[in-house]
Structure 1
Amino acid sequence: MTLKPPTFVSELRSRTRTGVGLDYEIAQEKAASLGRIGRRLEHAIAALKTFDAAPRGAGAATREPLVADAAEALWMLAVQRESSGCCDLASILRDYGVPPEVAARMGPACH
């Protein structure tokens, strides 16, 4: 005579391996990715604001890469949030204090 485990045990095992467990790991990675990209945007905007607050020794050629980096980081965050179902760009602009110049240049960097 062969004993078979109750069906809920085998369902739980399969869900843990492929369904719920995997969904949880994917959600964790999405959250971590949003955090990394959000920190990159914060650092890029802070670098731009620090440059703007400094005495005018350097010109526009030095400022341009800072604006481009912030614009690319903004684009990356917007795309990542949209892929997660959050499509409100206005909240990103407001919450991160994105300068209008950066928002106008939002997009991938063309190296």
Structure 2
Amino acid sequence: MPESTRDVDPLRYEIMQEQAAVLARLGTALHTALQKLAAFDAVRGAGERPGERDALVGAAGEALWYYVVQREVLGFGVGENLLRELGVPREVRLRMGLNRAPGAP
């Protein structure tokens, strides 16, 4: 039998709200990173200023990583359909993870 809203533990409810808010913020950050990469490619092309483009791909890969981890924590998982719907390019998927600067420990 489903819980009514008055049967929900207030602390659990607040935690769930925060988890949803974090997922929303991470989704926005991912969307923004993907938009910056797309805008760069539209204006400059992939061949120009490769260092700047590489940084944008790395930032998008890191944003994707945070988003995927949060979805997994919440039990939602991430499949190919979601990545396609979000418009995540293959190169960003391959760079998913922490974005370390060259020479960083």
Among the aligned pairs, what percent are the same residue? 44
CA distance in 1, matches of 2:44, 2:28: 26
Q: TM-score, normalised by structure 1?
A: 0.77
Q: 1:20-59 CA deviation, whole Å, 9 max, x = no partner? A: 1011101100000000000000000000000000045941
**Bigger shift: 101-110 or 50-59?**
50-59
The aligned amino acid for 1:79 is: V
1:49-95 superposed Cα distances (whole Å, 9 cap, x missing partner): 00000045941011011000000000000000000001123243122
- Which is helix-richer, 1 or 2? 1
- Of 54, 69, 73, 2:63 maps to 73
SS at 2:70 equivalent: helix
Distance (Å, rounded) in 2 between the aligned partners of 1:34 and 1:73? 11
Partners of 2:21 and 2:69 in 1: CA distance: 15
Structure 2, unaligned stretches of length 5 or more?
1-5
1:105 paired residue number: 95
Give the equivalent residue in structure 2 for 1:42.
Answer: 31
AA aligned to 1:110 is R
- C-alpha contact 1:44 1:70 (8 A) present in aligned 2: yes
Task: Say which one has the larger Rg.
Answer: 1
RMSD over equivalenced CA pairs, Å: 2.0
- TM-score normalised by structure 2 residue count: 0.81
The answer to which structure, 1 or 2, has the higher relative contact order (CA under 8 A, 6+ apart) is 2
